[in-house]
Structure 1
């Protein structure tokens, strides 16, 4: 039987999951469900993007991509942009 750290026990309790589930998530045996990601995000006060290793988008980057909109962009403009930049679709 594996030895669990105090951290493992605390995380498991905060997420309301068993310690073996935490071990499977940490070792990559099991992929986390969205509900786990949401719970982790809230428990550690970080974004889901940060949890999965993505860099958060800065306002400068968003301004560079979308420009200076004083009002909401029109739907056709957004659709056109997404067609031209499919990597922006998650």
Structure 2
């Protein structure tokens, strides 16, 4: 379980439900700073809070904590037939991009760059990830 994934998912589902931190805090009977701490990963919600988040967001606890991604039950509905060939890893990447708007925006910008600059970014990203995994 990744605590950063929990934080990302709480923010994602709160925004998807069009709730402010204040509105969610009132719904859960907690303070707004508690919601902020959950969303920045400083604190993780307890089980009681996860159950309440599940109720408010209308998703499973597994989706909130990141054990399960939001994958369509029937991928062929609304998607080209070839979408059925997408792996679970691909769906997790799609789910991650949907929940991390800023990264998605940067990737869209990167796609517009010349191929040689895209390859340079790929190389930098690979180096950064490898270095962080090493630490």
TM-score interval, normalised by the smaller of the two chains: 0.5 to 0.7
List 4+ stretches of structure 1 deviating above 2 A.
none
Count of paired positions: 52
Unaligned runs of 5+ in 1: 1-5, 59-90
Structure 2 equivalent of residue 28 of structure 1: 41
For each residue in 1:38-82, what CA deviation from the matched residue of structure 2 results, as whole angstroms up to 9, or x when unmatched? 0000011110000011227x8xxxxxxxxxxxxxxxxxxxxxxxx
User: Given the alignment, which residue of 46, 52, 62 partners 1:39?
Assistant: 52
Q: Which has the higher helix share?
A: 2
Q: For the residues of structure 2 that align with 1:36 and 1:52, how far apart are their CA atoms? A: 12
TM-score (norm 2): 0.36
Higher relative contact order (CA 8 A, sep 6+): 2
What CA distance in whole angstroms lies between the structure 1 residues aligned with 2:44 and 2:52? 14
In structure 1, C-alpha distance between the alignment counterparts of 2:24 and 2:68, rounded to whole Å? 24
**Separation in structure 2 between the aligned mates of residue 55 and residue 24 of structure 1, nearest angstrom:** 22
* Larger Cα-atom Rg: 1
Q: Distance in 2 between matches of 1:37 and 1:30?
A: 13
Q: TM-score, normalised by structure 1?
A: 0.53
